[in-house]
Structure 1
């Protein structure tokens, strides 16, 4: 199970709890439960005990958090590369500053990224097509509230632009999109990986 899968499960769980406490129709509650349980089964068949446990109109948010803690144990942590591997992924970058991650819960990450405010760059480590990729690009100085291309949630976004192609005449092409300025928040909001995959395909060098 990925971090984004867990985020989706958590979101669906609280949608169901809100319905338990705001919708009086038992039939409506049961229909929503059936829809949500089906989606959860599609994410992981190991969720069967959890799905049974949330079939309770008296379930509280506090109770759900306790149940979700056991589900999170099944999340595969993001495989953070060694500093030597990261240097190789960003071999064109001089004096790369790599953040320490020992204090982080890597189960919370589908990808990892950090901002270098001095150079106005964002660096990203992403598993794409079965291999770890290092991507970097410039980020603007202005943020705005809009939809992030990666997590598909409304957030404070910034324009990210990466060099994607060098032409024979010496010119080059840049591509990118608006993504969350805070990549930690982006990871916590992500409920599927389609946006991330599309974004990476756009900004990878051609």
Structure 2
């Protein structure tokens, strides 16, 4: 029985390490350098799960034995049964996160492979809004804000990859002490326009969690 324990961003990190091994094999002639890359990949993959000591650790560390593109593909496919999917969520649960948005348009949840999702995001062109849903411990949190297309590529603050971005701006719920009734603070950052691609690329959830905290308090 496969017990899931690898989150999407961790899987992406491991995938990057596997590709680094393959790249070294293809481009580096110095055997010592290649072995160094192999050892680094093995160490970094294992360090993601310091408490694992059973056959799962052996499975992760086999990343150092990869030799071909086919090996990489088989290695990653072997990890897929252990992927810890985004927690199950219903349309009703999502609507409760945005109670003021009575005409909320939702993504088709049936078309999403939640194994490869760290956060949900979608846009509503008619209202010029973007929505983000993220599992925060035992609960879900939701943030909505304005999005402004940049029509250019740069580095996303979530996945740190060079992608087409949009400026996402949300009103912060944080209020300083003795703030006036009309106090207003907008928090913004550049994020991938395509949430699916962002989820495929992200290797660390810390930047997203930090941003959500700055909005939600």
TM-score w.r.t. the length of structure 2 is 0.87
Cα shift at 1:142:
3.0
Aligned residue number for residue 32 of structure 1? 37
Residue 18 of structure 2: aligned partner:
13
Distance 1:199 1:178 in 2: 11
Gaps spanning 5+ residues in structure 2: where? 1-5
Specify the alignment match of 1:183 in structure 2: 195
Aligned pair in 2 of structure 1 residues 31, 142: CA closer, same or farther (>3 Å)?
Answer: closer
The 2-side partners of 1:168 and 1:73 are apart by 52
Distance 1:91 1:66, change over 3 A: same
Which structure 1 residue ranges, 5 or more long, are not aligned? Answer: none
Please state how far the C-alpha of 1:75 moved relative to its aligned partner.
0.9
In the superposition, relative to structure 1, how do residues 29 and 87 fare at CA in structure 2: closer, same or farther (>3 Å)? same
Measure, in 2, the Cα distance between the counterparts of 1:70 and 1:112.
25
Structure 2 residue matching 1:140: 3-state secondary structure: strand
Q: Does 1:49 align with 2:54?
A: no
- Mapped to 1, the partners of 2:215 and 2:197 lie a distance apart of 21
Kindly indicate whether residue 205 of structure 2 is the aligned counterpart of residue 200 of structure 1. Answer: no
CA distance in 2, matches of 1:88, 1:133: 10
Asked whether the equivalents of residues 85 and 117 of structure 2 are also in contact (C-alpha less than 8 Å), the reply is yes
Aligned partners of 2:124, 2:107: CA distance in 1, in Å?
10
Distance 2:20 2:181 in 1: 54
**RMSD across aligned C-alpha pairs, in angstroms?**
1.7
Checking the alignment, whether the CA contact within 8 Å between 2:41 and 2:64 is kept in structure 1 is no
Query: In structure 2, which of residues 151, 161, 166 is the aligned counterpart of residue 158 of structure 1?
Result: 166
Would you say the 8 A contact 1:160–1:177 is kept in 2? yes
Post-superposition offset of 1:203: 2.4
When structure 1 is superposed on structure 2, of 7-16 and 81-90 the one drifting more is 81-90
Q: Which residue of 1 aligns with 2:141?
A: 133
CA distance in 1, matches of 2:120, 2:64: 31
Moved over 4 A (4+): none
1: distance between equivalents of 2:168 and 2:107? 20
User: What is the TM-score normalised by the length of structure 1?
Assistant: 0.91
Q: Does the aligned pair in 2 maintain the 1:143–1:181 contact within 8 Å?
A: no
Corresponding pairs, count? 203
